[in-house]
Chain A
């Protein structure tokens, strides 16, 4: 990350060689930087610019400068706050559940002795399935006409329409999301588990620590960075949830997320101005979540990635 915090090397050590190495480094990364500017920085700046206008793609001549009015419209609209609440709820519940199940899976993958490859592969299969496909699969599973969920759950009425009410529809969406991405969580946690030194765990065992004590006092603290990376990645992904909602409910029953709201303004309504304001707000929300999580876990990202 920043060289200053890591302690800048003394100026005297800057030699011709290191200077030319630095020049070479810049030349080597230059193409990547140019591409990044073209495909990331430009669209972001363009969205910022467009968000200041009343601009409908089907009536480009009626474009009008509004200043921050689009942001005021969004932030004072109850629909925006309702969708933010839905999105946060989906994020917290899915990431929470995934963390627990994902850890169990990671632990199994870590400890397993027989058929290791087979078991690791089977746990990872859902993650290899395209989200849209998994959303359709779960939609069919929960569907009243051709689904099996009602039949398998003994306490469910066979006529129960999962997509007919808010909470059941949200449940279906979250189940699909959890099923699909838990393996990803497990994979990241497995990376953390394999960094925990076996000596430490053994030492704790010799000292008489129980299984729970070893888990809480030795294993988990030592994989804090991995948990942080896993939670961060998944939280940011979950906050941008779109595919499952698009396929399963199309936002009906108040299951709309912030991404879906943005999609509807830009793609369906062709409201480029308002939609850009929404995507800027979505970007800022993601930034805020990343910042809060990094602060919360007090982890140095560079250290987590094993950079010196």
Chain B
């Protein structure tokens, strides 16, 4: 007994020693995985590099890696925050999850001065994705968008004038007539809903509106715009321009076919540029604004990216809010963009000389324009319910029927939001 309590005392004093460890407090920043650094890259890369540069004598920032898929990132962060995990100070969040986190009070609103500094300096599209109920609840670190990537030689063979806006019909026909393919993301995951949403927004509609009403949001996927979107999906899925792995395709699987001899078209995020830069197809690689759903109506490119949020349950909320300032600073956004091809959320960063040297000027302009005129996914606290309900009716792409799928999915999403059906 005596030996036991002595041991307990000893371990207690050890614990105490750990607690008042000298040195500044540590802020743990949960980050999404960055691309692999190039061979021989010196020092810390990507967000780990930012963490290193933002550590100072008041606090150190340490990164902790989240899973690869956005869905899994959401699950892990949400589960920890719901349990009031005090070990998270900062987190990298996909903009589509901001509404859910903010509505559940799991994000510390940014202080007035930081918010008013960020608002005018940040691209509108990125800012919207960090706002909930008119308050800035996270700071945009970088903004992502999709453009149409294509092989110049193929467009020329097909006689497509790529200086003018193109429609989905045009590129599908051009690819099919020349034995090439159109790469899209249509696996049963968030990325497929990104495509569906962009098609619907491009036809002037939305999957849902009035999302602040939560479960009573208005479900509009069954309207005309939904039918237009389904027609594009149907057309591609039943055409020879569809890649054979269409139903399991993602951002990675479409990279290969574009570089193949057959070539083709592909919609993909900004990171795709780094995949081809310096490679054999670099000179033949073209880019244009996201294709139009209907001729004559401007397209609505997808928008993504990462916002940095502060947990209300972390031990040093004030220090974490201070660290956000540094993490999302202009310099860090530029460095991060050069390293990863994930584009800055701040307007001024696009004028940076080093960034303009790294990426073609017209591409930078296209990205900036895309972000500012994007058709974001509707910010709803029930977004993951909407995604799963949509996927259950729109996947696989080759079974989408423009006459029934949109209406059918509308009533299913409604039932799912009201909790009347299993998802």
What is the distance, in angstroms, from B95's C-beta to the closest C-beta of chain A?
17
- Asked if B360 CB lies within 8 Å of chain A CBs, one says no
For residue A79, which residue of chain B has the nearest CB?
A: B422
Q: Which of B100, B248, B398 contacts A252 (CB 8 A)?
A: B248
Q: How far is the CA of A210 from the CA of B398 in the complex (A)?
A: 55
Q: How far is the CA of A121 from the CA of B244 in the complex (A)?
A: 40
Q: Which of B104, B381, B419 contacts A274 (CB 8 A)?
A: B419
What is the distance, in angstroms, from A200's C-beta to the closest C-beta of chain B?
53
Q: Is the Cβ of A265 less than 8 Å from the Cβ of B422?
A: yes
Residues of B contacting A73 with CB < 8 Å? 419-422
Q: Which of A59, A252, A271 contacts B247 (CB 8 A)?
A: A252
- Asked if B44 CB lies within 8 Å of chain A CBs, one says no
Q: Which of B79, B188, B244 contacts A251 (CB 8 A)?
A: B188
Q: How far is the CA of A302 from the CA of B256 in the complex (A)?
A: 59
Q: Interface digits, B409-422 against A, CB 8 Å rule (1 contact, 0 not)?
A: 00000000001111
Q: Is the Cβ of A269 less than 8 Å from the Cβ of B423?
A: yes
What is the distance, in angstroms, from A147's C-beta to the closest C-beta of chain B?
10
Residues of A contacting B247 with CB < 8 Å? 161, 163-164, 252-253
Residues of A contacting B82 with CB < 8 Å? 57-58, 60, 270
- Asked if B384 CB lies within 8 Å of chain A CBs, one says yes
Q: Is the Cβ of B104 less than 8 Å from the Cβ of A252?
A: no
Q: Interface digits, B381-423 against A, CB 8 Å rule (1 contact, 0 not)?
A: 1001100100000011010000000000000000000011111
Q: Interface digits, A246-275 against B, CB 8 Å rule (1 contact, 0 not)?
A: 000111110000000100110111110010
Q: How far is the CA of A265 from the CA of B395 in the complex (A)?
A: 19
Q: Is the Cβ of A269 less than 8 Å from the Cβ of B385?
A: yes
- Asked if A136 CB lies within 8 Å of chain B CBs, one says no
For residue A80, which residue of chain B has the nearest CB?
A: B422
Q: Is the Cβ of B244 less than 8 Å from the Cβ of A264?
A: no
- Asked if B262 CB lies within 8 Å of chain A CBs, one says no
What is the distance, in angstroms, from A56's C-beta to the closest C-beta of chain B?
9
Q: Which of A57, A160, A249, A268 contacts B71 (CB 8 A)?
A: A268
- Asked if A77 CB lies within 8 Å of chain B CBs, one says yes
Q: How far is the CA of A165 from the CA of B193 in the complex (A)?
A: 20
Residues of A contacting B364 with CB < 8 Å? none
Q: Is the Cβ of A274 less than 8 Å from the Cβ of B395?
A: no
Q: Is the Cβ of B388 less than 8 Å from the Cβ of A264?
A: yes
- Asked if A74 CB lies within 8 Å of chain B CBs, one says yes
Residues of B contacting A80 with CB < 8 Å? 422
How many residues belonging to B are interface residues under a CB distance threshold of 8 Å? 31
Residues of A contacting B246 with CB < 8 Å? 161, 164
Q: Is the Cβ of A261 less than 8 Å from the Cβ of B245?
A: no
Contact (A161, B423) CB under 8 Å given A58-B78, A251-B188? no
Residues of B contacting A54 with CB < 8 Å? 419
Q: How far is the CA of A159 from the CA of B247 in the complex (A)?
A: 13
Residues of B contacting A5 with CB < 8 Å? none
Q: How far is the CA of A250 from the CA of B82 in the complex (A)?
A: 25
For residue B252, which residue of chain A has the nearest CB?
A: A145
Residues of B contacting A161 with CB < 8 Å? 244-248
Q: Is the Cβ of A261 less than 8 Å from the Cβ of B248?
A: no
Q: Is the Cβ of B75 less than 8 Å from the Cβ of A268?
A: yes
Q: Is the Cβ of A253 less than 8 Å from the Cβ of B396?
A: yes
Q: How far is the CA of A253 from the CA of B256 in the complex (A)?
A: 24
Q: Is the Cβ of B396 less than 8 Å from the Cβ of A252?
A: yes
Q: Which of B71, B78, B256 contacts A270 (CB 8 A)?
A: B78
Residues of A contacting B420 with CB < 8 Å? 73
Contact (A77, B422) CB under 8 Å given A161-B247, A264-B388? yes
- Asked if A50 CB lies within 8 Å of chain B CBs, one says no
Q: Is the Cβ of B396 less than 8 Å from the Cβ of A164?
A: yes
- Asked if A124 CB lies within 8 Å of chain B CBs, one says no
Residues of A contacting B253 with CB < 8 Å? 145
- Asked if B271 CB lies within 8 Å of chain A CBs, one says no
- Asked if A293 CB lies within 8 Å of chain B CBs, one says no
What is the distance, in angstroms, from B176's C-beta to the closest C-beta of chain A?
15
For residue A60, which residue of chain B has the nearest CB?
A: B82
- Asked if B189 CB lies within 8 Å of chain A CBs, one says yes
Q: Is the Cβ of B245 less than 8 Å from the Cβ of A164?
A: yes
- Asked if B187 CB lies within 8 Å of chain A CBs, one says yes
- Asked if A282 CB lies within 8 Å of chain B CBs, one says no
Q: Is the Cβ of B104 less than 8 Å from the Cβ of A59?
A: yes
Contact (A265, B248) CB under 8 Å given A57-B82, A252-B395? no
Q: Is the Cβ of B423 less than 8 Å from the Cβ of A252?
A: no
Q: How far is the CA of A58 from the CA of B102 in the complex (A)?
A: 10
- Asked if A141 CB lies within 8 Å of chain B CBs, one says no
For residue B187, which residue of chain A has the nearest CB?
A: A252
Q: Interface digits, A65-77 against B, CB 8 Å rule (1 contact, 0 not)?
A: 0000000011001
Q: Which of B245, B248, B384, B396 contacts A268 (CB 8 A)?
A: B384
Q: Which of B104, B244, B248, B398 contacts A58 (CB 8 A)?
A: B104
Residues of B contacting A59 with CB < 8 Å? 104
The 7 closest A-B pairs by CB, nearest first: A252-B188, A159-B244, A58-B104, A144-B245, A77-B422, A79-B422, A164-B247
> Please, could you name 13 A-B residue pairs with CB atoms under 8 Å apart, sorted by A?
A58-B78, A58-B100, A73-B422, A145-B253, A159-B244, A164-B246, A164-B396, A250-B189, A252-B395, A253-B396, A261-B422, A268-B388, A274-B422
Known: A159-B244, A269-B388. 5 other contacts (CB 8 A): A54-B419, A74-B422, A251-B188, A265-B422, A270-B78
